[in-house]
Amino acid sequence: MRILAVENLPIADVKVIRYARFIDERGYFAEHFRKSDFESGSEMGFMKGIEFLQCNESRSKYGTIRGLHFQWDPCMGKLVRTLAGRMVDLALDIRKGSPSFGKIIAYEMPASPGADFGEWIWVPPGFAHGNYFTAESHIEYFCSGEYNPACEAGISPIAADIDWSLCNPELKKEFEALAAAGSLMSEKDRRGHSVSSWSDNSNSDRFVWENRSPGTF
């Protein structure tokens, strides 16, 4: 695997990992994950000690909004990429005491099959994760914990008290247009917590920010 770049997003614990594709007249080949490369090199220090225990894939129709999901016992980080279509990934900081608590960021991830690189986005534990889709799309994500339905919760992506100030304004506008048009969203997601109601839940104390090594919270 050849890692080309690691980019910090406006909340620096959320990262974009760009890797090489090798292109010729037939198409391309890409080694999109190799554990040793994720654990070596100074630019990948935030992944040291992270082990992926589950891999999921998802197909979404145009206009779908998913999220914002998280769990505890075990906590789960997600490494996400777009296989086909166009995803905009969403990450909301739920770490109590964090300077960016309650703030959301968005990152556009089209499949771009003709590009000479692919991308992962790393959403670590301590973030509520979601996405929206402006084309029929297929995504894949590796998880650093196994799914536990007894210890999951969500913040509604349309909650009025989410702080969008760090988000790209054009992506925020696009999200709002989808939501206003009656997007495809599950009732469970639509009726999820607000930031404030989640903060009042005793389980929110499981997510506390400490200014310590990457990959932890």
Catalytic residues: 69, 141
**Strand, coil or helix: what is 44?**
helix
CA atoms in the 13 A half-sphere facing the CB of 110: 6
Closest CA to 123 of 101, 143, 96: 143
Helices assigned H by DSSP within the chain:
35-38, 169-180, 187-190, 195-199
The single residue listed with the structure tokens 């939501």 is: 179
Nearby residues of 170 by Cβ (< 8 Å), 6 or more positions away: none
**The tokens of 152 are what?**
């999951």
- The rounded distance, in Å, linking the Cα atoms of 8 and 142 is 19
**The tokens of 193 are what?**
């917590």
Nearby residues of 38 by Cβ (< 8 Å), 6 or more positions away: 44, 47, 50
